Amino acid sequence: MIAALLMVALLGSCATSKAERAMRRAERQMEKAERRAARNYEKAKAAHYKHQAKKTKKMIKEDRRRARKLNKHRRVRY
């Protein structure tokens, strides 16, 4: 009787751990895919910026500075 209960407990815990391992593996794969997508996006963004004319790059920089100045009040300070 005790041996049967022990067997059921052991088999039940194995099934749970397999499911948990599969879930962790799927989560790791999703995180890896997200990191890869973010890297590809940054590469594409850099390549796009690189192909811009000098005047356009200067305008982008000025817009970035202006936006930073205008949105200064929105920043959260800790």
| pTM, 2 dp | 0.56
Summarize pLDDT for 23-55 with one digit per residue, the tens: 999 999 999 999 999 999 999 999 999 999 999
What are the structural domain ranges in the chain?
A: 17-71
Which contiguous run of DSSP H or E holds residue 41? helix 2-50
The residues near 52 (Cβ < 8 Å, ≥ 6 apart) are 60
Summarize pLDDT for 8-19 with one digit per residue, the tens: 666 665 556 888
Asked whether residue 3 carries a pLDDT value surpassing 70, the answer given is: no
pLDDT of residue 26: 96
Summarize pLDDT for 52-77 with one digit per residue, the tens: 999 999 999 999 999 999 988 877 77
